[in-house]
A and B are shown apart, each in its own frame.
Chain A
Amino acid sequence: EAQVTQNPRYLITVTGKKLTVTCSQNMNHEYMSWYRQDPGLGLRQIYYSMNVEVTDKGDVPEGYKVSRKEKRNFPLILESPSPNQTSLYFCASCQDKVSTGELFFGEGSRLTVL
């Protein structure tokens, strides 16, 4: 089954404690992206990657890091989380940068930073 898998689905942490949200897709997609969803703000892009070892900032990259060492994985790293990073995070992927394909989303990771 084609899917995007995120872990953990729920996480409560404290300010400053480094955490990683993993994302994996099994569709051999080149393009992957992270979004955060906040009430009234919709989806905002954090980082995206066009292919292995190619990443770029989205609209709200501050406080986040990503890496793309393998095509299937695109982890989101919060080196020193702060309460304003409390949010619902989504990983998504699509075929490549020139296709007409849609984005496939993971189920989301709800993060609370105390």
Chain B
Amino acid sequence: AQSVAQPEDQVNVAEGNPLTVKCTYSVSGNPYLFWYVQYPNRGLQFLLKYITGDNLVKGSYGFEAEFNKSQTSFHLKKPSALVSDSALYFCAVRDPYYGQNFVFGPGTRLSVLP
């Protein structure tokens, strides 16, 4: 069965510093991996995805993520954090072998301090 872990409930970072939000996954085959962001009182917004190819993928708002197959990780990164990046971040996996259901991690709350 597929699963997603986000080991940190909360990440705090100072504005201008680099940020990392961690995600590890477990699937049977080759995963499709996604990051979503949720701002207060809003739905989830797609940030980026890894399907195949280059392990470093770039997405919206300056975010990027690195797929590491050996470590089964897909950490979200940004070189310089903004206060407006403060939100709840979800990692998700979809295993084509099992069909199209998405499995989400529990979420990590990012706080960027001015």
User: A residues within 8 Å of B by Cβ?
Assistant: 4, 31, 33, 35, 40-43, 45, 48, 50, 58, 90, 92, 94, 96-100, 102-108
Contacts and interface: CB of A to CB of B under 8 A. Distances in A.
Contacts, number: 54
A90 B32 CA distance: 21
Contacts of A41: 106
B100 A102 contact: no
B90 A42 contact: yes
Contact of A31 (B45, B46, B100): B100
Nearest to A100: B51
Interface residues of B, number: 22
A42 B43 contact: no
Nearest to A45: B101
Contacts of A105: 36, 43-45
A92 to B, nearest CB: 8
Contacts of A107: 42-43
Contacts of A97: 99-100
Interface in B54-112: 90, 92, 96, 99-102, 104-107
Interface centre among B96, B100, B107 (most CB of A within 10 A): B100
Given A31-B100, A42-B106, A103 B51 contact: no
Given A43-B44, A50-B100, A99-B100, 15 more contacts: A42-B104, A42-B105, A42-B107, A43-B90, A48-B101, A58-B101, A90-B43, A97-B100, A98-B100, A100-B51, A102-B34, A103-B36, A103-B102, A105-B36, A105-B45
Nearest to A96: B100
Contacts of A43: 44, 90, 104, 107
Q: Which 7 pairs of residues, A with B, have the shortest CB-CB distance?
A: A105-B43, A42-B106, A97-B100, A43-B104, A105-B44, A102-B46, A100-B51
B22 interface: no
